[in-house]
Amino acid sequence: MNKTIIATLLALIMVSCGTDSRHFEIDGRLLNLNQGEFYVYSPDGNLKGIDTIKVQAGRFTYKVECKKEMTLMIVFPNFTEQPVFAAPGKSVDIKGDASHLKEMKVKGTKPNELMNQLREQIANASPNEIQKYARQFVEDHPESIVSTYVVRNFFLQKERPDFATARQLINLMLEHQPGNNSLKSLQQSINNRTTLTTNSRIPKFAAYDINGKPVNNATLSTTGTTVVVAWASWHYNSISMLQSMALLQKETKGEVKVVNICLDYSRAECRRILNSREIEDVITICDGKSIDGDVYNLLGMSNIPDNIVIENGKVTATNLTIEQLNKKLRK
């Protein structure tokens, strides 16, 4: 068999598999959903901004350039998020029911199969059992990309983060993944994190807003009221919170000052949302590090959305709902 025929056969095989060594592909089918649109982002920064997935007749496909293992988060219209673990040259199938998204299955690669097993295990578990199962998962699979997601989701992105357990698990994972720079960055961000409580003072920091102007702890500690809002372009509730606070700043003619921390990896996407929603005259910090961002961690934030209310230089509330924020600040 000559080289031309071999090359042709290889090309046909790759086309039939639907992907190649430089891409990752998702094929999906959801019952009880005819048409729609999903958003996709990468918590580890491997996507620039946000992609969209179009659904037609309950089916959807998504193909993305993939040079190394990465985590993708699919955001559904009800704000449910589904992690998908991508790898070069691989493809997965997603099947489920739009009315029972928590029962969705992602099949095709070992990391996604592991995630399916964990989701089944915690489906009817109590909060304490969920923490136990999540910790056991990381201890059993410290080499897996899934464990990074598990640490972030089950131990850090909570109203009361468990930093001690997260540190232990990350140290274990780094023993098995010594060259994982994302893990090293996560470890550093946890070590730099501050816990703010009522009557705390803002820790010292120095940063720049998206226009290159300096922002520091004194910016937040001036006389009056400042509200810090953490948001992301893929999270509608967080954008609504920012809009509400920006409107309040305008209504109070600056008596309530708004400083916002954008958790997007893309500053361009951050600017696009601010412009499209006509959010003006607020101080915006976007360092491109998402939840590993320096200011986000120094201020002890852990959620999307999240917020801190500072009055006369001291913290008076944290992590309020939009309704609670408006009630407190409109007094």
**108 belongs to a structural domain:** no
Q: How many CB atoms lie within 10 A of CB 272?
A: 15
CATH classification at residue 235: 3.40.30.10
**Of 82, 97, 112, the domain-final residue:** 97
| Cα gap 244→256, rounded to integer Å | 12
**156 belongs to a structural domain:** no
Q: Tens digit of pLDDT for each residue in 276-315?
A: 999 999 999 999 888 888 899 899 888 889 999 999 889 9
Q: Tens digit of pLDDT for each residue in 181-219?
A: 889 988 988 887 777 888 889 999 999 999 999 999 999
Instruction: Please tell me the pTM assigned to this model.
Output: 0.79
Q: How many CB atoms lie within 10 A of CB 117?
A: 12
| Cα gap 39→79, rounded to integer Å | 10
Of 329, 271, 261, the C-alpha closest to 299 is: 261
**270 belongs to a structural domain:** yes
Residue 92, domain extent: 18-97
Q: Tens digit of pLDDT for each residue in 314-326?
A: 999 999 999 999 9
Q: Give the confidence band of 13 by pLDDT, cuts at 50, 70, 90.
A: very low
What is the rounded average pLDDT for all residues in the chain? 89
**Of 78, 97, 116, the domain-final residue:** 97
Give the number of domains in the chain. 2
CATH classification at residue 34: 2.60.40.1120
**200 belongs to a structural domain:** no
Structure tokens at 210: 């998206």
Percentage, residues of the chain above pLDDT 90? 65
Of 100, 172, 160, the C-alpha closest to 131 is: 160
**238, 261 in Cβ contact below 8 A?**
no
**124 belongs to a structural domain:** no
**102, 123 in Cβ contact below 8 A?**
yes
**178 belongs to a structural domain:** no
**321 belongs to a structural domain:** yes
| Cα gap 192→194, rounded to integer Å | 7
| Cα gap 51→41, rounded to integer Å | 7
Number of H helices, E strands in the chain: 11, 15
**223 belongs to a structural domain:** yes
